[in-house]
Amino acid sequence: MEGKIIIVGATGYTGSALAKLLKKENIDCHLIGRNELELKKLATETNQSFSVCMDVSNEQSVEDSLKNVANDKILGFAYCVGSIVLKSFQTTKIDDFINTFSLNVAGAIHFIKKLQKQLADNKGSIVLFSTVAVDRGFNMHSVISTAKGAIQGLTTSLAAEFAPKIRVNCIAPSISQSKMAKPILDNARIAEQIPLKHAMKRVGKPEDLAEAAKFLLLPSSSWITGQVIHVDGGKINIET
Tens place of pLDDT per residue across the chain (240 aa): 789 999 999 999 999 999 999 999 999 999 999 999 999 999 999 999 999 998 998 999 999 999 999 999 999 999 999 998 999 999 999 999 999 999 999 999 999 999 999 999 999 999 999 999 999 989 999 999 999 999 999 999 999 999 999 999 999 999 888 887 888 888 889 889 988 999 999 999 999 999 999 999 999 999 999 999 999 999 999 988
Distance separating alpha carbons of residues 168 and 30, to the nearest angstrom: 19
Residue-range definition of the domain harbouring residue 114: 4-229
The answer to whether 130 and 148 are in contact (CB under 8 A) is: yes
Q: Does 56 fall in a domain?
A: yes
What lies within 8 Å, CB to CB, of 142 at 6+ separation is 87, 89, 92
In a domain, 239, yes or no: no
Those residues with Cβ within 8 angstroms of residue 65's Cβ, 6 or more apart along the chain or in another chain: 32, 51, 52, 53
Judge whether 134 and 193 are in contact, CB under 8 Å.
no
> Is residue 236, in this structure, part of any structural domain at all?
no
Is 237 a member of any domain? no
Q: Is residue 148 part of a domain?
A: yes
Whole-structure pTM value: 0.96
Nearest CA to 174 among 202, 146, 213, 216? Answer: 202
CA distance 126 to 191: 32
Q: What is the pLDDT of residue 15?
A: 97
43: domain CATH number is 3.40.50.720
- 29 domain-assigned: yes
| Number of structural domains found in the chain | 1
What local confidence, expressed as pLDDT, does residue 187 receive? 87
The answer as to whether 93 is a domain residue is: yes
Residue 25 lies in a domain: yes
